Amino acid sequence: MVLADVTEVTEATETGPTPLRDAPSSSRIGGPGSVAHLRVREVWKGEAPAAIRVAFDPNYLCPAPPRYVAGKTVVAFLIDADEVWETVALSYGTHYPAPGETGDYRDRVREATALQSRSRLPDSERLDWLVRAASRRATRWDGLYELMPQGDSLHSSYDQEIDQRAGSAQLTETQYQKLAMAFVERPSVDRTLPMFLSLFEGRPHHALDRAAMAALEGVLLRDRPPWWIGEAMDLLLRRLGDAAPETRLAPLGETYDDKEMRTVREIWARAKVDLGLPEIPAIPGTPPEVGGVGSNTPS
């Protein structure tokens, strides 16, 4: 696992190795494969030279491919494949830290590597690591997904290893409190908002509710609502005392239906009046450094 600068992305040659050779052709949209040229800054796990060529195929629709963008700094999970390297877990194997987030990735990887080196790992220590991951915005999705994969209805729907996830029922009260305070300090204005609310379903927490309201207000600043907006609003409205949020949210249609932001804003404004909710300043979200990877992997 490396932290590296993507210096260049070139087209693969006809004789060069191409990843995903056995994938069905129907999942490919044409075009040659590519090679990402990486200048390694740090090696966090395993061994790697200072310069790496990574073969990948950006033309796949399913499974989603890794993304390498020239000029960006990537955290990449890699495997040596003779002449070139390949990306482990495809789209989940490339991460692009926002400014100030590299340390969070580095710390979690080094902690995980130390834990993996042990002959026996108690469940409590694994859960502690997942809580630390979920407490930081950079690695929040990675921690939350292991704790409660069903909180991400999109990715869990095709996860063949979902039964192996840790599960949230084993969290201690101290761990819940640590997660709540981490969310209050840095609320999620992305896919992890409904995931966090799912994890805390049935657990009252006034400060967390206010932070979630601020996050939702931030989401509503966008031009278009994300597909998960209905899930987030349903969970939040239940926490805020709405007895029938499904009725209020009916105009939004099904989960993956296209939604109009104007309709979403009108529903939220009406809910605030009906439930006597205070006005909470919005926390604006920031777009990911590179889309289509990690928690933003498409279905």
pLDDT class of 160 with cuts at 50, 70, 90: confident
Taking alpha carbons only, the member of 292, 255, 295 closest to residue 64 is 292
Contact call for residues 35 and 81 (beta carbons, < 8 A): no
**Residues counted in the chain:** 299
Pull the structure tokens for residue 110.
Answer: 């080094």
Burial class of 186 by CB neighbour count within 10 A (0 to 12, 13 to 18, 19+): middle
Query: What percentage of the chain exceeds 90 in pLDDT?
Result: 79
SS3 60: strand
pLDDT class of 189 with cuts at 50, 70, 90: very high
pLDDT score, position 24: 47
pLDDT in tens, 224-282: 999 999 999 999 999 999 999 999 999 999 999 999 999 999 999 999 999 999 999 99
Q: For residue 15, is pLDDT > 90? A: no
Residues 6+ apart with CB under 8 A from 292: 64, 67, 91, 298
Contact call for residues 35 and 9 (beta carbons, < 8 A): yes
Contact call for residues 135 and 182 (beta carbons, < 8 A): yes
CA separation for the pair 221, 202 (Å, rounded) = 28
Phi, psi of 183 (to 5 degrees): -70, -40
Contact call for residues 216 and 193 (beta carbons, < 8 A): yes
Q: For residue 166, is pLDDT > 90? A: no
CA separation for the pair 196, 181 (Å, rounded) = 12
How far, CA to CA in Å, does 18 sit from each of 32, 55, 83?
A: 9, 6, 11
pLDDT in tens, 86-104: 999 999 999 999 999 999 9
Q: Where are the beta strands (DSSP E) in the chain?
A: 2-11, 34-43, 51-56, 73-76, 78-81, 84-87, 94-95
DSSP 119: S
Q: Peptide bond before 49: cis, by omega within 30 degrees of 0?
A: no
Phi, psi of 297 (to 5 degrees): -60, 130
Pull the structure tokens for residue 31.
Answer: 């075009």
Burial class of 114 by CB neighbour count within 10 A (0 to 12, 13 to 18, 19+): exposed
Contact call for residues 38 and 6 (beta carbons, < 8 A): yes
pLDDT score, position 16: 54
pLDDT score, position 21: 47
pLDDT score, position 14: 55
State the residue for tokens 């129907």.
26
- Average pLDDT value over all residues in the chain: 92
